[in-house]
Amino acid sequence: MQYYLARTVGLTYEQAIASVTERLKDEGFGVLTEIDVAATLKKKIDVDVPRYIILGACNPKLAHKALSAENQVGVLLPCNVVVQEHKDGRVEVSAMDPVGAMGMIGNPALTEIATEVKARLERVLAGLS
């Protein structure tokens, strides 16, 4: 099963981060965390990799519904959205596929919530240039 949604965008790395953050906001998500993977790997193990950031996105109303349906689902939250710059200069934005992630739990209420979250994340990606 596909575990992520992705789109190559015609934006710079910085523009993509700003744009995806705005689009997430339009869909009711806030960015709770920002993990600069490239900077972390350089600092911790002195490895150079292309720019790569993980944005931890959360829609509070949907997160509450999911936690109410299955209290351990927090291990899969927040929804991670990645902006990465490939070695060839392409910038890609990807997001977890919540239907794939939540499907393994087998709770129909979660599947319904995950379907809504997926639709919102697909709109975020579609709205990027």
Tell me the percentage of the chain whose pLDDT exceeds 70: 99
Domain that holds residue 26: 4-126
| Residue 9 CB-half CA count within 13 A | 25
Over residues 32-51, the pLDDT tens digits come to 999 999 999 999 999 999 99
Position 2 confidence tier, pLDDT thresholds 50, 70, 90: confident
Of residues 101, 6, 127, 113, the one with CA closest to residue 60: 113
What is the number of helices (H) and of strands (E) in the chain? 5, 5
Q: What CATH number does the domain containing 87 carry?
A: 3.30.310.70
pLDDT on residue 83: 98
Q: How much is the pTM?
A: 0.94
How many domains are there within the chain? 1
pLDDT on residue 51: 98
* Structural element, H or E, at residue 57: strand 52-58
**Segment 4-31 mean pLDDT:** 98
Q: Return mean pLDDT, the chain.
A: 96
Q: How many CB atoms are closer than 10 A to CB 102?
A: 25
Q: Distance between CA 47 and CA 35 in Å, rounded? A: 16
pLDDT on residue 58: 97
pLDDT on residue 1: 63
